[in-house]
Every structure is written in C-alpha cells, then in structure tokens.
Structure 1
Amino acid sequence: MASAGHQNEGDNVHSDIWTLEHTEPTIFREPSGPACRAYELWETDLDIVRDLGLNAYRFSVEWARIEPARGTVDAAALDHYEQVVDGALERGITPLITFCHFAAPHWFAASGSWLGPDAPQLFGDHCDRVMARVGDRIGAGITLNEPNLEQLLQALGHLPPEAEEAKRAMLAAAARNAGTERYYAANVIPADDQFALRDGFLRAHRAGKAAIKARRSDLPVGVSVAIGDDVAVAGGEARRDARREQVYDFWLHEARNDDFIGVQNYERVWHGPDGEVFPDGPRNGMGTVISYASVAGAARYAYEVSGVPVLVSEHGIQTDDDAVRADFIPASLAELAIEVERGTPILGYCHWTLMDNFEWIFGYGAKLGLVEVDRETFRRTPKPSAGVYADTVRRYREPV
C-alpha cells in the first residue's frame, strides 16, 4: 500500500505546496486543508492496512514538518514518524519511507529550491536526521518521488499552453511574495526549466542516498519514477523508443547504481508511425484506455534498462466507479505475476492509494483510493475494491 504525507496528513502549513495552494493566482483546484487528517488518525489507517492483510506500507516523512524553518528541527514531528514506524511494525507491516514525496519546506523553495547550490546537502541532512531516528526499523528507502513527472506530463500532452502559462504566473507570484528570484516545487516545474531541475534532483538523490547508506549500508535505497507502458504498433518503434529515451532512461540509467528502481505506472500508450494511436475501449479518469498489462510492461522495461530489481511503488486507477477498480486490481496483478514468472525481479507491489485524498492540482475530485473518506467527519469506509484487493493478495500468498 502507498500513500503520501501532504496528500493525507493535512495542515502541512510550512510546505511549498501549501504556499502554492494559497497563492493568487493558483493552478490548484482547491487547497489541501485538513486533507484526510491522517496525521491524527494514523493508527486507524494502519489498522485498515493490517485488516486488509497487507505486509508493507509506503508513506512519506514530511520534511516541512520536521524542519519548518531552516536549521530548526521539530522533535515532535520526528517523534510522530517514529510512532508511525513502530505502529506499523506492531501490526506486522514493514514501513517503506519516501524521504520527499514532492512537498518540501517553503523556506527551501524560496532559497533556490532544488537548484540551490546547497540543496543536496540540505536534503542529505534531512535524510540523515530521519535515518538517525527510525532507519534501523524500516524496510526500504525511496529518496524522491517521480523526479521525471514533468517530462512525462509534457510527453503525454497533459499540459496545454494555457496550463503552462498559469503555472508560470503562480510561481512568479509565489517568488514575489517570498521576496526571492524564483520559486519551484518538485511537481510544479515550468517546461523550460525541467532539465535544470532534473539535474538538481539527481544531485539530491545521490546526496540523500549517501546519507541513508552512511547510517545503514544494508538498507535498500532507490528512486521512484513515473513510467507509462509504451508499446509500438507496426512502424511505431522509433517513436516509442524516442519517448522512452526522453522520459525514463535518464533515471533508469541512474538506477543501475541503486538497489532497486521504483516503478509508478498508471497507463499504457500505443505508438504508431505518425504519432500516438488511441484504441477503442473503456477509459480511466485520466482519459486513457484501461490496460491490465500496463504495470507488467512498465516493470519489464524498467528492469531491462536498469538491471536492478523493481519495486512497484505506485499503481492504481483513477475512477469514480469502484466496480471498475475492483475488476482492474486482480487482472493487473495477474499480469504482474506472469511477468515474475518470466524472470523480472519484483520486490513488491504498493497500490495507490489507501484512501481518496488530495490529488495535487486536481484537489479532491480524483478518486484512486480503496477507502472512501467523508470530507466532513473524516470517517473511513472501505470500498468493495478493498476487499477484492485483500482477497487477491491472500490468494497469491497461499502455498501452491
């Protein structure tokens, strides 16, 4: 199971994303506000994970909570995440930590963000203090979440020119408000700056990994990338290969130096000789044709290029129809099981996501969770797909 702090915890007031949500103009549909109140209700959420029979839970430690002002460490925030780690272990769940799931401190964004000369050291310090507290009890570490997201969105054409203009206006306003020359967040990057930020993410990833390994050399560490399953119809091989090189290969090559590569897959894209091909069939909430085999194809390609084991750190489907999700999960896991039989080393699978939450610029409109959350009472109600997921996982664990 996978989740992220800013999307679930609520009131992450010292973060760059919170700042952008409240900037005028903003591209965020609505502010995150209390989110799912997971910072308070974490025990309830871990109980749900346990009751589903799952043995691993990926979550993020929010840097902005731990270091709300530069050089000021909030010991209570570290205490909180230690409680979550220990609470997971008490329930038989292995904690998998993401050290930065997009959101970073506001002060970090205002002082150069990931392009700042001291950004790698600052991120390394964050990783070190988290490891000092809980590093001996976690199962794996993911430094950064989807540092290639901007390249993928651009390649898929999900960002029309007017969206790019709105993004730039928001970031310019945030910079003015902060009294700084520029302002970035990890998932809000102008198209012209994406490769400079990519290099910044690379330096941060390496510094973070070094800090993590310095505390615990045996801990598996990697980075998670957004990766579609790109397939070619007759004559589309060159376009498919160009997409892969543009969006994925930089990080897959870097992963050769890591312990695993995190794969985050939500769609399959078909390439023809003249561009993308759009087959008929049911579509998800992102507008792409539903493909059960997409996660297996993405994992296969990631392993072929990186040569390291794959952790499916996110996979799911955006839909308001839970019956579609209930059908999607077992069919996708069956395809992934076939891929394992073919020889692709899959370390584990983390469904995105536990509960309907704050989906960044789309606010609370996008539904990807196994659990419904009442926006007023924050009561958690498992959907039928949660039971399907639990039953599917149980079947794969039963001895043959």
Structure 2
Amino acid sequence: MANDTSAVLDPVSPHSLADPFTPPADSSLWRKNFLLGAATAAYQIEGAIHEDGRLPSIWDTFSATPGKVLAGDTGAVACDHYHRWEADVDLLAGLGLEGYRLSIAWPRVMDAAGTPNRKGIDFYKRLLARLKEKGITTFVTLYHWDLPQHLEDRGGWLNRDTAYRFADYADLMSRELAGSVDAWGTLNEPWCSAYLGYGNGHHAPGLANGRFATQAMHHLLLAHGLAVPVLRANDPRSQKGIVANIGRGTANSDSAADQRAAHLFEVQHNAWVLDPLLKGEYPQDLFELWPGTEPLVLDGDMKTISAPLDFLGINYYFRTNVASDGAHGFKEVPLEGVERTQMGWEVHPDGLRDLLTGFKDTYANLPPIYITENGMASDDQLSDGKVDDSQRISFLKRHLAAVDEAITAGVEIRGYFLWSLMDNFEWAFGYERRFGIVHVDYATQKRTLKRSAELVAKFLKERGART
C-alpha cells in the first residue's frame, strides 16, 4: 500500500517563522538531556485488527457494540499504522522528535494458550529496529487498555489470574525485544482501566460497579508488580516504570467541606494509584469515599506492588473544580469563563506544576518523572493544505512552562511526550476529537503537519544547534 510521505520532507514551513512556542532562554527545556518526544497507543493507530493472527480485544468488542462509541466508530482501521509504520517513523524522525512512546497490542503477540504469534512480534521488532536506526529513544507500554477478549471472558481484571497472565506476556515481550527498548512501562493509566472500565462503564469492558473498580485496580497493580522483576531479569539495561494519569482537584469555596471534597477528589484520582506504588498501601480516605469497596488483598501483594521503579510516567490534561456533595464525597462544579478544549476539559497548566511539586513533598521515594502524555483535542480543520492549531501551540507552551517551574522547584523530570503524534481513535469519542500534532485524513490516510508540529520541529532544530 502506498504511503504518503510528503509531510516529512520539509517539517518547517515559512509560515512557522513567527514563533509563539520557543521557551525562554533560561528554560530547562533547552537542556540536551531533557527528552522531548511524542506518544501513541496501539489500538488507537494500528488498525489491522483481523490480520496476521491478532486476536480480538475488549475494545474491538466494546466499539462494535451499538451506542458505546461516538458515531459507531471502531479501531478496525484507525490510522492504518500497521501498514504505514515506516512512513510514520520517518515522519517522527523528520520532526526531530527524540523519543517515541508506543504500546504493544497484547492480542497481536500471543494466542489464548500463550503461544507466541511470530507475525505480530516481528511487526514490533521491525518497528523498534527502525526507530533505533533513526536514533529515537523508545518507551514501550505493555498495556494500553486492549485486553485480549478471551481473558475478559474469564473475568478480565476482576480475575486475579489475569495478573499472572500479564506477567507471562511481559516475560515473552521482554525476552523477544530485549535491547530494543529503552524504557518499559507496564500499564498505562490503571485509573482509567479500573474506574472507566469497571466502575462507571464508560470504557471497555463497560461494567459499572464500585467494588468491581477497586478489585480491578488491585489486580492491575498486582500485574504491574509481578511484571517488574521479570522485565529486570530479561532486559536489565532498560528502565522500568508505570504510567499514571493524574488530576488536579480544586475546591469551590474555602469551606472545610469543600476543601475536604477537593482532597477526596485527588485521593481517588491520584493516591488510589500512587500510594500503593510508592507507600505500599491504599489510602484509607478512599474507602470513606467508597465505603464497602475494599478489594481482596492477599499476603505479600502490597510488597509486590510497591517494587522500586526507575521512573514514573505522568499523564496530565485538566483540573476539576468540586464541592462537597453533602455526604461522603464530592460533585463537580464547572467554572464559568475558563478556557476549555474540544473535550470540554479546562486548560489549567498550574495544576500540573502543583501536582508535581506536591508529589515531591508527599512521596520520599518519588522516582524520576517523565511526562508521558500531555496535549489537547481541538476541532482542527485542514485549509489550503495547512492546519493552524493556535490553541494547541499555546497549550503546549504553557504546560511546558509549568514543567520547567516544577523542575526549578526540585522535581526530577527527565522528559516530556506530546499526546499525540497524530490524530487517532479517541476511545469512546471515536474520530471526532483530534489530539495530534499531525492531521490525519481518515478517508485517504494522508498525514499533514499542523503548525504545532512545525514549531516543535523548529525548536528542536534550534536546541540541537546550541548543543
């Protein structure tokens, strides 16, 4: 199949010369060792869901269920990256991006009996080899939500056995790809997998039960803990970590009740994941918020979960303003007159800085951090072959400034990955919401650099010339 590579030939076009993106001269972002990259996920870009022995995933099932995904969209084709990966790597390299965070599709690399699927594994071997040829640092996430459907049929993340099957999967991939991966991430956003997948049903597999959410979370974190020593044994030179999404909660008033509500928001959004990883315990405030939902925890589980990390990936998008619900929790109170993205999320870069500096104070053993996702969706329109995504440019500049402020405050942050390299399947929102710095015409699969991509490329070229 022909690939359109025209977008990578000249990544900096004349209309990008008036540059509202470049950081100040004293910014930490000019450091040569601060990694700047972009991220994607397998189900969101690969397509080819029936090819070369790939098995069905929970997102294949969920997106094919009427009413679950906007406009009935599915990931069956997505960005057709499975066939266009060489051109996509050239696109990434042409922008000068130094790192690429991708995920492996678990259903693509092994069958239900655990037998390796050579065609699927070879796809990732070729992809990683090409990235290495281009000098791009590779961050590989093992689980970005696409659980094999056959495991969900046996209980999914409600079944403790799934954690052990994940360790088997991690073992296979780290043996096969050892030396090709700079950093392994076990899970992407276990909060979303547990809460959106099993707590409120917004994501696959679409279950909605509070006790399900906390038990699924425990098994997700257990899977992470079981995988870490396997990754260390099989690929000792790589970094090992996990990726958590975090949310800033602010109170609607100075009242004690509203302040408590904001605290509880951050407990369920942040501490629910980070406390087990970094303290070896669940926050008890969580079960004040959700009484009667304590998961079944076996002896030794928390020690397994809290195995030391080489890095912590942080995904941040927005803050939520809350008030007391008059009982044991909180309710969202949207603020008026604030900037929002196409998702309806408030643009609040200070929240990222505040959370990062707060984590430094809260967790004595906080590992080095990579911002593994940050970006925004906008209704980007292609006009005369160009996409002028001015809100995204402003968003990225302000959030990178917030990262710089956190570094100045003493937080060890080693890099930043834009979400996303290109427009893609945005889960329950289908293809309507565009997060990419590269525009994708889904009818033709043509990639077009947005102005944000041009300015990122310009900055990286200037930084390279300085060092």
Provide the TM-score with structure 1 as the length reference.
0.86
Does the CA contact (< 8 Å) of 1:284 and 1:319 recur in 2?
A: yes
1:387 aligns with 2:454: yes
Does the CA contact (< 8 Å) of 1:279 and 1:289 recur in 2?
A: no
| Counterpart pick for 1:20 among 55, 62, 75 | 62
Cross-structure match for 1:96: 139
Does the CA contact (< 8 Å) of 1:144 and 1:223 recur in 2?
A: yes
Query: In structure 2, do the counterparts of structure 1 residues 365 and 312 end up closer, same or farther at CA, with 3 Å as the change threshold?
Result: same
| Counterpart pick for 1:262 among 313, 338, 344 | 313
| Counterpart pick for 1:190 among 208, 227, 243 | 208
Query: In structure 2, do the counterparts of structure 1 residues 208 and 150 end up closer, same or farther at CA, with 3 Å as the change threshold?
Result: closer
Q: Report deviation, 1:111.
A: 1.8
Query: In structure 2, do the counterparts of structure 1 residues 337 and 229 end up closer, same or farther at CA, with 3 Å as the change threshold?
Result: same
| Counterpart pick for 2:262 among 213, 218, 240 | 240
| Counterpart pick for 1:343 among 393, 410, 431 | 410
- Amino acid in the other structure paired with 2:208: P
Cross-structure match for 2:86: 43
Cross-structure match for 1:80: 123
Cross-structure match for 2:440: 373
Aligned mates of 1:136, 1:2 — CA distance in 2: 20
Q: After alignment, is 137-146 or 111-120 more displaced?
A: 111-120
Q: After alignment, is 303-312 or 6-15 more displaced?
A: 303-312
The one-character-per-residue Cα deviations of 1:272-298 (angstroms, maximum 9, x if unpaired) are 678646142221112132223333333
Query: In structure 2, do the counterparts of structure 1 residues 392 and 231 end up closer, same or farther at CA, with 3 Å as the change threshold?
Result: farther
Q: Percent identity?
A: 28
Query: In structure 2, do the counterparts of structure 1 residues 57 and 381 end up closer, same or farther at CA, with 3 Å as the change threshold?
Result: same
Q: Report deviation, 1:132.
A: 0.8
Q: Considering only CA atoms, is the larger Rg found in Structure 1 or Structure 2?
A: 2
1:67 aligns with 2:124: no
Query: In structure 2, do the counterparts of structure 1 residues 190 and 11 end up closer, same or farther at CA, with 3 Å as the change threshold?
Result: farther
- Amino acid in the other structure paired with 1:326: I
Q: Report deviation, 1:19.
A: 1.8
- Amino acid in the other structure paired with 2:377: Q
Query: In structure 2, do the counterparts of structure 1 residues 87 and 309 end up closer, same or farther at CA, with 3 Å as the change threshold?
Result: same
| Counterpart pick for 1:285 among 342, 360, 366 | 342
| Counterpart pick for 1:333 among 400, 409, 416 | 400
- Amino acid in the other structure paired with 1:76: K
Does the CA contact (< 8 Å) of 1:371 and 1:382 recur in 2?
A: yes
- Amino acid in the other structure paired with 2:261: R
Aligned mates of 2:125, 2:347 — CA distance in 1: 38
Query: In structure 2, do the counterparts of structure 1 residues 373 and 358 end up closer, same or farther at CA, with 3 Å as the change threshold?
Result: same
Does the CA contact (< 8 Å) of 1:114 and 1:204 recur in 2?
A: no
The one-character-per-residue Cα deviations of 1:185-228 (angstroms, maximum 9, x if unpaired) are 4xx44243111111111111111222211213443222211111
Q: After alignment, is 144-153 or 283-292 more displaced?
A: 144-153
The one-character-per-residue Cα deviations of 1:80-101 (angstroms, maximum 9, x if unpaired) are 1011111111111011000010
1:10 aligns with 2:47: yes
- Amino acid in the other structure paired with 1:290: V
Cross-structure match for 1:177: none
Aligned mates of 1:295, 1:38 — CA distance in 2: 31
Aligned mates of 1:152, 1:281 — CA distance in 2: 27
Q: After alignment, is 97-106 or 387-396 more displaced?
A: 387-396
Does the CA contact (< 8 Å) of 1:140 and 1:219 recur in 2?
A: yes
Count of aligned residue pairs for this structure pair? 374
Q: Report deviation, 1:270.
A: 3.4
Query: In structure 2, do the counterparts of structure 1 residues 205 and 315 end up closer, same or farther at CA, with 3 Å as the change threshold?
Result: same
Does the CA contact (< 8 Å) of 1:299 and 1:310 recur in 2?
A: no
Query: In structure 2, do the counterparts of structure 1 residues 285 and 301 end up closer, same or farther at CA, with 3 Å as the change threshold?
Result: farther
The one-character-per-residue Cα deviations of 1:151-172 (angstroms, maximum 9, x if unpaired) are 7769xxxx9xxxx5xx49xx9x
Aligned mates of 1:315, 1:254 — CA distance in 2: 24
Aligned mates of 1:19, 1:132 — CA distance in 2: 30
Q: Report deviation, 1:344.
A: 0.7
Q: Report deviation, 1:124.
A: 0.8
Does the CA contact (< 8 Å) of 2:179 and 2:237 recur in 1?
A: no
- Amino acid in the other structure paired with 1:251: V
The one-character-per-residue Cα deviations of 1:108-165 (angstroms, maximum 9, x if unpaired) are 11122122232122111111111111122211111111111267769xxxx9xxxx5x
- Amino acid in the other structure paired with 1:114: W
| Aligned-residue CA RMSD (Å) | 2.5
Does the CA contact (< 8 Å) of 2:145 and 2:193 recur in 1?
A: no
Q: After alignment, is 385-394 or 280-289 more displaced?
A: 385-394
Contiguous gaps of at least 5 residues in structure 1: 172-183
Aligned mates of 1:294, 1:272 — CA distance in 2: 17
1:122 aligns with 2:144: no
| Counterpart pick for 2:221 among 179, 183, 202 | 202
- Amino acid in the other structure paired with 1:11: A
Query: In structure 2, do the counterparts of structure 1 residues 247 and 128 end up closer, same or farther at CA, with 3 Å as the change threshold?
Result: same
Provide the TM-score with structure 2 as the length reference.
0.74
- Amino acid in the other structure paired with 2:103: S
Aligned mates of 2:82, 2:107 — CA distance in 1: 14
Does the CA contact (< 8 Å) of 2:194 and 2:216 recur in 1?
A: no
Q: After alignment, is 32-41 or 233-242 more displaced?
A: 233-242
Aligned mates of 1:71, 1:225 — CA distance in 2: 27
Q: Report deviation, 1:78.
A: 0.9
Aligned mates of 1:349, 1:356 — CA distance in 2: 18
SS of structure 2 residue aligned to 1:190: coil
User: What does residue range 150-165 of structure 1 map to in structure 2 within 5 Å?
Assistant: 164=200
Aligned mates of 2:67, 2:319 — CA distance in 1: 33
Q: After alignment, is 335-344 or 210-219 more displaced?
A: 210-219
Cross-structure match for 1:175: none
Contiguous gaps of at least 5 residues in structure 2: 1-37, 51-55, 279-307, 326-330, 381-388
1:311 aligns with 2:359: no
1:355 aligns with 2:422: yes
- Amino acid in the other structure paired with 1:213: R
